[in-house]
Amino acid sequence: MSKRMGFPFAAVVGQEDVKQALLIMLANPKAGGVLVAGEKGTAKSSLVRALTNMVPDKKMIDLPLNATEDMIFGNIDLEYAITRGKKVFQPGLIARAHGQMLYVDEINLLRREVLTSILDTADRGVNVVEREGISYRHEARFTLIGTMNPEEGILTASVLDRFGLFASVSRETDPAARTEILRRVLAYEKDPEAFVQAYENETKELTNRLQAAQELLGTIEVSIAMIELAAQYAVKAHAAGHRAELFLIEAAKAVAALAGRNYLLPADMERAAFFVLPHRRRQEETPPPATEEQQEQPPVEQSEQDDHEDQPKPPPQPPQNAPPPDSQGQDESDPDDAKDKNEDLPRQQNDYADQERIADIDKGFSNAKLAVSLPQDRHVRQGSGKRSLTRTDRKQGRYVRSCLPNGKLTDLAFDATLRAAAPYQRLRAKGNCCITIRQEDLRQKVREKRIGNTFLFVVDASGSMGARERMRAVKGAIFSMLQDAYQKRDQVGLIAFRRQTAEVLLPVTRSVDLAQKCLQHLPTGGKTPLAEGLHTAFSVLQSMQKKEKEMQPILVLVTDGRANRSIAGNGDAIADALKAAGEIGMAGVHSVVIDTETDFIKLGVARSVAREMGSSYYCLQELSKQKILHIVKNLP
């Protein structure tokens, strides 16, 4: 492949922050890797790829999203093993990146397991391979550069923390600059070689500046006062751990060196803080009420919760400095409660029962997330996503063990195949190779990876739900769960029940967008046919399971439990609902119930329904505080 004539770094208009962050990294690799975040089409990857022209002694190793673990970290050399009969380590991409730069475009789309392993290696500077019958370690020091579009998914706090520097990009809003961008892109496309040549001087200047900075760097002394300043910055940002200070000092040194100075100024530290701190900033921790659920949270979930506060550029979520979710939740529920106390129940139902109204979505609702902790089974599933671990046959994911192939071999487990063939080598005739492998020796890899889940939302849209702002909050809660579902690539479906029937508004689809649209236009009004809603949900789930046996869909029921329409039309509505719930529970469907009942006199039907279904149970107010819904295995 010929070296592409890349767009020159110096020719990129604007984006000064990203440019400086990258220059700091080149001048002083100790300042850590760089994470660049921003909307699509803002020259993120063009800037990163342009770096190679400035540092001719370093290469840019691309890590494609489709790379398999064995190729990244190294593997047994298949060719060598077969022809020479010896086990030799074949270095992976990480080994090639040693002393170079490793670039991951769309780093937030990289599989979680792979990303953690890469970051671990970067941290230790050593790649340790213990897999497929080989044990090997080699040095692996590299500068990690990642670019991402935060809309497509976010990184956890622990991942963010590993990057020394962070820079965000945004589109240019100055017409003159935009015109200049167009002019340069056109010129470049017309004749790349001439364009690159035109910027040769500027590129050379940058290279020289970098070299000078690298030389200066060793002569810069860091005074105690400067270290104290760094510590102050870190404390002010509530940065966790002590990585921040170290990165701050190294980055400040690079800033000074790039400016041609061999001493540090407070302004250097301020500039360094601009790049080092934004992704480490944490909110001041208010002592959380130590409820049982919170203590039970596994560490992974904890960090997922964190990353909402830490996420550097959260487009759909409330910004960092939004009021803490606790107080927000109170705002929504307290006035409701207060008003409810002053009104008697029958009047309220008359008021809202037959009016049809459409509540908008409360987008300020805190980010409710769904934590699914179902036990892993032996079913093989396809598809993609970022939620639950499953066995897979798509050659992705971690190699857990080998097995005899069932039909045609698709994913060769080489180590196991060799082991199977080894005992018979003396008896077999040899061809060109040292090892003769026969059909019966072949072994297949068994792999595990993450896929999305399927959530079926069953929403009570009766008149009682339309009362005041309740539906708005409900829609807000579902909307935030949908956002989580979008980022984890789940499938969703939506059923609403009101008046006489339950209606499948959206059959299960991968398009979370559609679910959001249905939700937006969902009106409330009429009676509450809870039993009907559950029946419809159950039949949808059953037909889904007929199609895909391995699917473990999760039912999310949102209701105030005030069932007042039975299946026959004149029976006991609540009894019918409990019976339907019992059937779902018996079938072993995983479910969660969100109770929206806030009236003074609580009937607690939703709680009984939850018990019958064997679901996890949450109140709506609780949800706005807690943010994570744990869905655990339903034991029928």
Partner 1 sequence: MRTGVYPFTAIVGQDDMKLALILNVINPGLGGVLIKGEKGTAKSTAVRALADLLPAMEAVKECQFRCDPQDRHHMCEACLQKSNAAETILTQAVKMKVVELPVSATEDRVVGTLDIEHAIKCGEKKFEPGILAQANRNILYVDEINLLDDHVVDVLLDAAAMGVNTVEREGVSYSHPARFVLVGTMNPEEGDIRPQLLDRFGLSVTVTGERQSEQRVEVIKRRLAYEQDSDMFAGDFQKEQEELGNMIMQARRLLPQVTIDDELLTLVANMSIKLEVDGHRADITVIKAALALAAFDGRDKVAADDIKKAARLALPHRMRRRPFEDGVLNWDAVETMFQE
- Is 380 one of the binding residues for partner 1 (CB under 8 A)? no
Binding pattern for the stretch 103-122 against partner 1, x by CB under 8 A and - elsewhere: --xx--x-------------
CB of 105 or CB of 304, closer to partner 1: 105
- Please give the single-letter amino acid code of residue 511: S
| DSSP per-residue codes, 375-404 | PP-S-B-----SSEEEEESSS-SEEEEEE-
Q: Return the exposure string of 427-437: e unless at least 16 CB atoms fall within 10 Å of the residue's CB, then b.
A: eeeeeeeebeb
Binding pattern for the stretch 191-210 against partner 1, x by CB under 8 A and - elsewhere: -x------------------
Q: Please say whether the beta carbons of 598 and 337 come within 8 A.
A: yes
Nearest-angstrom CA–CA distance, 145 and 14: 20
Q: Rule CB under 8 A: choose which of 208, 406, 511, 543 binds partner 1.
A: 511
Q: Rule CB under 8 A: choose which of 16, 79, 228, 343 binds partner 1.
A: 79
- Is 324 one of the binding residues for partner 1 (CB under 8 A)? no
Nearest-angstrom CA–CA distance, 604 and 611: 11
Nearest-angstrom CA–CA distance, 224 and 313: 33
- Is 133 one of the binding residues for partner 1 (CB under 8 A)? no
CB of 378 or CB of 408, closer to partner 1: 408
State CA 69 to chain mean position distance: 19
Residue with tokens 């998914």, as numbered in its chain:
153
State CA 63 to chain mean position distance: 18
Q: Which residues ranging from 383 to 422 are in contact with partner 1 (CB under 8 A)?
A: 383-385, 394-396, 409, 412, 417
Q: Rule CB under 8 A: choose which of 55, 128, 134, 185 binds partner 1.
A: 185
How, if at all, do strands 60-62 and 554-559 pair?
Answer: unpaired
Nearest-angstrom CA–CA distance, 436 and 429: 7
Q: Rule CB under 8 A: choose which of 45, 116, 262, 320 binds partner 1.
A: 45
Q: Rule CB under 8 A: choose which of 16, 120, 139, 189 binds partner 1.
A: 189
Number of residues counted as binding partner 1 (CB under 8 A):
79
Catalytic annotation on 243? Answer: yes
58-66, 422-430, 568-576, 618-626 -> range binding partner 1 (CB under 8 A): 58-66
Nearest-angstrom CA–CA distance, 311 and 476: 21
Q: Which residues ranging from 160 to 179 are in contact with partner 1 (CB under 8 A)?
A: 171-173, 175-176, 178-179
CB of 43 or CB of 530, closer to partner 1: 43
Q: Tell me the sheet residues that pair with 92.
A: none
**Minimum CB separation from partner 1 for residue 485, in Å?**
10
Helix (H, G, I), strand (E, B) or coil at 459: strand
Q: Where are the alpha helices (DSSP H) in 58-99?
A: 69-73, 78-84, 93-96
Q: Tell me the sheet residues that pair with 459.
A: 496, 558
- Is 295 one of the binding residues for partner 1 (CB under 8 A)? no
35-43, 271-279, 294-302, 366-374 -> range binding partner 1 (CB under 8 A): 35-43
The one catalytic residue among 162, 243, 398, 498: 243
Q: Rule CB under 8 A: choose which of 253, 391, 472, 489 binds partner 1.
A: 489
**Minimum CB separation from partner 1 for residue 204, in Å?**
23
Q: Rule CB under 8 A: choose which of 57, 190, 338, 342 binds partner 1.
A: 190
**Minimum CB separation from partner 1 for residue 434, in Å?**
8
In sequence order, the 6+-apart residues with CB closer than 8 A to the CB of 511 are none
Residues recognised as catalytic: 243
